Amino acid sequence: MTRAYAIGAAVLTVVFLVAIGLFVARPAWLTAWTGGGDDPFAPCRQTVVQGGLSSIGGPFTLINSQGQTVTDQDVLTMPSLVYFGYTFCPDVCPLDNARNALATEILESNGTMVQPVFISIDPNRDTPEVVGEFAAIFHPRMVGLTGSEDQVRAASRAYRTYFARQDSDDPQYYLVDHSTFTYLVLPGHGTVEVFRHDTPAEEVAARTQCFIEHM
């Protein structure tokens, strides 16, 4: 039964991603062959999104770990690796946030400053204090954000992410199915790249460095 549910959830996720716009990795040779027109980031970009990457992201209003209401203008003031997940996530969220933190460290060792950002899609359990503690585990500068259900859903829609709470008899112990993309957001440019769950930290750092050098 558990396996059948997992397969069904996976199929639902795939269908949802197709509906909102497919994320496709584009090999470097295709980028070079097709050129980038007026896109200054063409040498760096490896992801194609239906509707364009400019359609991903936008204004949001959330709550930081100090309980303060903040907007995207307050948070995304430097190159940022933005990830949507939840602190009770048993596997993928810790791995992805650890990867983003390691990529941040690699970039910093090369003199490039970026900011990892964690946005909770589980506001019922993820209070400002909880997301702050969670973010601090991975990197001292990782920003943890939560909000009301409406605020979180609005941010999720802006970044075209998917999440759905699994049914559970216990209101405090449940899992949340969700997409696992990390978004590279540059001030003044918005979302310029999307990293998949299986992208190694070294690659995230190298591709991020490329985008920053072409700003």
* Predicted confidence (pLDDT) per residue in 132-142, tens digit: 999 999 999 99
Which residues, 6 or more positions from 37, have their beta carbon under 8 angstroms from its beta carbon?
none
Longest dimension (CA), the chain: 54
* Predicted confidence (pLDDT) per residue in 9-43, tens digit: 443 444 444 344 445 555 544 444 444 458 899 99
CATH number of the domain encompassing residue 91: 3.40.30.10
Distance CA 97, CA 105 (A): 12
Q: What is the number of structural domains in the chain?
A: 1
- For residue 158, give both structure tokens: 């802006």
Q: Does 80 map to a domain?
A: yes
* Predicted confidence (pLDDT) per residue in 172-186, tens digit: 899 999 999 999 999
Q: Does 30 map to a domain?
A: no
Residue 214 is predicted with a pLDDT of: 96
Residue 12 is predicted with a pLDDT of: 44
Residue 168 is predicted with a pLDDT of: 87
Q: Confidence band (pLDDT; 50, 70, 90) for 8?
A: very low
Given a contact cutoff of 8 angstroms between Cβ atoms, the answer to whether 64 and 70 are in contact is: yes
Residue type, 13: T
Q: Does 196 map to a domain?
A: yes
Residue 35 is predicted with a pLDDT of: 43
Partners of 16 in beta bridges: none
- For residue 210, give both structure tokens: 């490329």
Q: Does 18 map to a domain?
A: no
Q: Confidence band (pLDDT; 50, 70, 90) for 61?
A: very high
pTM: 0.83
Given a contact cutoff of 8 angstroms between Cβ atoms, the answer to whether 66 and 128 are in contact is: yes
- Residue 205 belongs to domain spanning: 53-213
Distance CA 180, CA 204 (A): 14
Q: Does 17 map to a domain?
A: no
Residue 50 is predicted with a pLDDT of: 82
H or E segment to which residue 133 belongs: helix 128-138
